[in-house]
Amino acid sequence: MAEVILKNLTKMFGSDVGVEDMTMTIPDGSFVVLLGPTGAGKTTTLRLISGLETADKGEVWIGGRNVAGETPAQRDVAMVFQQYSLYPHLSVRENLEFPLKSPILKTPKPEIDRKVNEVAEVLQISHKLDNKATALSGGEMQRVSIGRALVREPAIYLMDEPLSSLDAKLRTDLRVELKRIHASLGATLLYVTHDQIEAMTMASHVGVLDHGRLVQFGTPREIYENPNSLYVASRLGQPRINILPADLFGGGAPSGAINIGMRPEHIQQGDGLEAEVQRVEHLGDQNRLHLKLGSHAITTIADPATDYAPGAHIKIAPRNPLYFDAAGNRIR
Ligand SMILES: Nc1ncnc2c1ncn2[C@@H]1O[C@H](COP(=O)(O)OP(=O)(O)OP(=O)(O)O)[C@@H](O)[C@H]1O
């Protein structure tokens, strides 16, 4: 496995920004998750690393090598797409064997069998090994395409929302498996997802993209607790952070603050301003309260034993709030 470094990488599509001046180090053995809304440049970043796309400017370094001019095969990356990409005329086993049969790798047959069986087991598709790839459900096909990446030990795995087409149970299982595979292989992974839980549970580092630019890079905890902008603060956290006028709760806001940001769990109850409960969601382990404070909607959480009903009044005050200036930059 290898460290991957992007230096001032830029890719334009006509006047549309794909990736702009991106500099990022993906440490050897890390699990980096890219977050950002649609069009932020996540897929383009993966395609530039894999060599499926050529940069206008900047460099990609894999394992200490500038890979400019190398083909995707020479770069030794394994890519998993959101949509499965299998050879329909081959069986599941043949699809899984395919990457190992590459003339560059020259993998011995017993090693191929061992790898294929092991990966099939992890992905719960052992009983389908002799099926034609087309005789599978969508979820099974996606597992085979993940398997085709996992049989190899490339410099880096590049995964573009690989679990998004799977059902909730399988997603949870595979999340755990991917994390285990990452730990046991010491693999380097760059992973794109829109799923908060995937990002928070799997990532060693999170990179947040905005219009092709990397706007913050850090551990999931750093990104969650110490976002450098309102944009980054809004990318993690479900329910989302509450963004309100900075002076809503009276003094205390630093000069230049326009907005106060309060995560749902950072609202103290029993003190402060009176809000009205609009709606309560009972989630089992917690109650989610939707409040109205003047004209503002606020979401917070409460102990599952509480029995607030719509119309009830509750006093709230910020605890460890974040403050942002007019441009959305964090000021405290
Ligand atoms: N082949 C292409 N031709 C033209 N424009 C492209 C091409 N690929 C990407 N783009 C543009 O580049 C920008 C970044 O796209 P990209 O697919 O990298 O975003 P993304 O963050 O992966 O989005 P999503 O979450 O929807 O997959 C978008 O504005 C997109 O329209």
Provide mean pLDDT across the span 57-78.
95
Would you call the peptide bond into 72 cis, given omega within 30 degrees of 0 as the criterion? no
Mutating to test ligand 1, I would choose from 44, 159, 165, 190 the residue with most ligand atoms within 8 A of its C-beta, which is 44
- Is the pLDDT score of 83 beyond 80? no
Q: What is the pLDDT of residue 139?
A: 81
Residue 314 has pLDDT above 80, yes or no: yes
Say if 4-234 and 240-324 have the same CATH topology: no
Residue 231, both tokens: 């944009």
CA of 39 to the centre of ligand 1 (A): 5
| Whether CATH 3.30.450.20 fits 240-324 | no
Do residues 252 and 274 lie in contact, with contact meaning Cβ atoms separated by under 8 Å?
Answer: no
Under 8 Å CB-to-CB from 147, ≥6 apart: which residues? 95, 96, 119, 120, 122, 123, 125
Position 78 confidence tier, pLDDT thresholds 50, 70, 90? very high
CA atoms within 13 A on the CB side of 322: 25
Residue 327 pLDDT grade (very low, low, confident, very high; cuts 50, 70, 90): very high
ipTM of model: 0.97
Confidence class of residue 64 from pLDDT cuts 50, 70 and 90?
A: very high
Run of H or E residues at 162: none
Degrees to nearest 5, angle at CA 97 with 76 and 165: 80
Q: Whose CA is nearest to atom 9 of ligand 1?
A: 18
Nearest ligand 1 atom to the CA of 11 is 12
3-state secondary structure of 94: helix
pLDDT exceeding 70 applies to what percent of the chain?
100
Q: 208 C-alpha vs ligand 1 centroid, how far in Å?
A: 15
In the chain, domain spans:
4-234, 240-324
Least confident of 46-50, 164-168, 244-248, 295-299: 164-168
CATH, domain range 4-234: 3.40.50.300
Q: What is the pLDDT of residue 166?
A: 85
Ligand 1, pocket residues at CB < 6 Å: 13, 16, 18, 36, 38-44
pTM given for the model: 0.91
Residue whose Cα lies nearest atom 24 of ligand 1: it is 38
Helical H segments across the chain, by residue range: 42-50, 72-75, 92-97, 109-122, 138-150, 168-185, 196-202, 220-225, 230-235
